[in-house]
Amino acid sequence: MGERFVVVPVDSGEMIASGGEHTGKTEARPAPDTGDSGSTGAGTAEEQEPLEDSVFEPQDPEAAVPILEYNREPNKYGDGVPKENSPFINNTEHDKNNSYDGTNMALFEEEMDSHPMVSSLLNKLANYTNLTQGAHEHEEADEEEGSKKKAITSPQMGTFMGVYLPCLQNILGVILFLRLTWIVGTAGVLGSLVIVGLCCSCTMLTAISMSAIATNGVVPAGGSYYMISRSLGPEFGGAVGLCFYLGTTFAGSMYILGTIEILLTYIVPQAAIFRAERKEEAVDALLNNMRVYGTCCLILMAIVVFVGVKYVNKLALVFLACVILSILAIYAGVIKSIFEPPDFPVCMLGNRTLQNHNFDKCLKTEVIDNLTVTTKLWSVFCDGPDLNATCNEYFVNNNLTLVQGIPGLTSGVISENMWSEYGPLGMLVENKKLSSFGESDPTKDIYLPYVVNDITTFFTLLVGIYFPSVTGIMAGSNRSGDLRDAQKSIPIGTILAIATTSFIYISTVVLFGACIEGVLLRDKFGDSVEGNLVIGTLSWPSPWVIVIGSFFSCCGAGLQSLTGAPRLLQAIARDGIIPFLQVFGHGKANGEPTWALLLTAGICEIGILIASLDSVAPILSMFFLMCYLFVNLACAVQTLLRTPNWRPRFRYYHWALSFLGMSLCLAIMFISSWYYAIVAMVIAGCIYKYIEYRGAEKEWGDGIRGLSLNAARYALIRLEEAPPHTKNWRPQLLVLLNLDSDQGVKHPRLLSLTTQLKAGKGLTIVGNVLQGTYLLKDAEAKKAEQNIKSAMSAERTKGFCHVVVSSNLRDGVSHLIQSAGLGGMKHNTVLMGWPETWRQSNDPESWRSFIETVRETTAAHQALLVAKNVDSFPTNQDHLGEGTIDVWWVVHDGGMLMLLPFLLRQHKVWRKCKMRIFTVAQMDDNSIQMKKDLQMFLYHLRLNAEVEVVEMHDNDISAFTYEKTLVMEQRSQMLKQMHLSRTEREREAQLIHDKNTASHVTVNDKAEAGPERVHMTWTKDKLFTERNRNREFNANVAVRDLFSMKPEWETLNQSNVRCMHTAIKLNEVVVNKSQGAHLVLLNMPGPPKNRGGDENYMEFLEVLLEGLNRVLLVRGGGREVITIYS
Sign of CA dihedral 204, 205, 207, 208: positive
SS3 track for 854-909: HHHHHHCCCEEEEEECHHHCCCCCCCCCCEEEEEEECCCCCCHHHHHHHHHCCCCC
pLDDT-derived band at 1055, boundaries 50, 70, 90: low
Residue 994 φ then ψ, to 5°? -60, -40
Q: Is it the case that residue 199 has pLDDT exceeding 80? A: yes
Q: Is it the case that residue 496 has pLDDT exceeding 90? A: yes
d(CA 1031, CA 975): 35
Amino acid in position 847? W
Q: Is it the case that residue 527 has pLDDT exceeding 80? A: yes
Residue 5 φ then ψ, to 5°? -115, 130
pLDDT value at residue 1044: 45
Q: Is it the case that residue 710 has pLDDT exceeding 90? A: no
The total number of residues shown for the chain amounts to 1126
Q: Which helix (H) or strand (E) holds 1096?
A: helix 1094-1104
Burial of 370 (0-12, 13-18, 19+ CB in 10 A): exposed
How big is the CA angle at 218 (ends 213 and 221), to the nearest 5 degrees?
Answer: 90
Q: Highest mean pLDDT range out of 117-121, 290-294, 690-694, 795-799?
A: 290-294
Sign of CA dihedral 333, 336, 338, 340: negative
- SS3 category, 839: coil
The whole-chain average pLDDT of the chain stands at 76
pLDDT tens digits, residue range 76-92? 333 433 344 444 434 44
Q: Is it the case that residue 502 has pLDDT exceeding 80? A: yes
d(CA 531, CA 358): 11
Return the DSSP state at 163: I
pLDDT-derived band at 107, boundaries 50, 70, 90: low
pLDDT tens digits, residue range 843-897? 667 778 888 888 888 888 888 999 988 888 998 888 888 889 999 888 877 778 8
pLDDT-derived band at 728, boundaries 50, 70, 90: low
CA 546 to chain centre: 46
Angle between helices 1094-1104 and 845-859 (to 10 degrees): 90
Burial of 776 (0-12, 13-18, 19+ CB in 10 A): exposed
Q: Is it the case that residue 272 has pLDDT exceeding 60? A: yes
pLDDT value at residue 978: 53
E strand spans, 616-753 = 733-736
Sign of CA dihedral 371, 372, 377, 379: negative
Query: Which residues does 971 contact at the CB level (< 8 Å), separation at least 6?
Result: 1095, 1099
Q: In what order do the strands lie in the sheet with 883-889?
A: 800-806, 764-771, 733-736, 829-833, 863-868, 1111-1115, 1079-1083, 883-889, 913-921, 946-951
pLDDT tens digits, residue range 577-616? 888 888 888 777 666 788 889 999 999 999 999 988 888 9
How crowded is residue 399: how many other Cβ atoms within 10 Å of its Cβ? 12
- SS3 category, 36: coil
How big is the CA angle at 173 (ends 169 and 178), to the nearest 5 degrees?
Answer: 165
pLDDT tens digits, residue range 299-325? 999 998 888 777 777 777 888 888 889
pLDDT tens digits, residue range 448-473? 888 888 889 999 999 999 999 998 88
d(CA 970, CA 244): 79
pLDDT value at residue 982: 42
pLDDT-derived band at 297, boundaries 50, 70, 90: very high
pLDDT-derived band at 114, boundaries 50, 70, 90: low
Q: Is it the case that residue 152 has pLDDT exceeding 80? A: no
d(CA 985, CA 991): 10
Which of 302-306, 623-627, 643-647 shows the lowest per-residue confidence on average (mean pLDDT)?
643-647
Q: Is it the case that residue 362 has pLDDT exceeding 80? A: yes
Taking residues 218-224, what's their average pLDDT?
63
d(CA 256, CA 301): 9
pLDDT value at residue 678: 92
Q: Is it the case that residue 269 has pLDDT exceeding 80? A: yes
Q: Is it the case that residue 146 has pLDDT exceeding 70? A: no
Q: Is it the case that residue 732 has pLDDT exceeding 80? A: yes
Taking residues 125-135, what's their average pLDDT?
40
pLDDT value at residue 139: 43
Q: pLDDT exceeding 90 applies to what percent of the chain? A: 18
Q: Is it the case that residue 975 has pLDDT exceeding 50? A: yes
- Whole-angstrom CA distances from 488 to 88, 229, 231, 476, 882 are 22, 22, 20, 11, 71
Taking residues 795-811, what's their average pLDDT?
89
Query: DSSP alpha helices (H): ranges in 905-981?
Result: 927-940, 959-978
pLDDT tens digits, residue range 505-526? 999 999 999 999 999 999 988 8
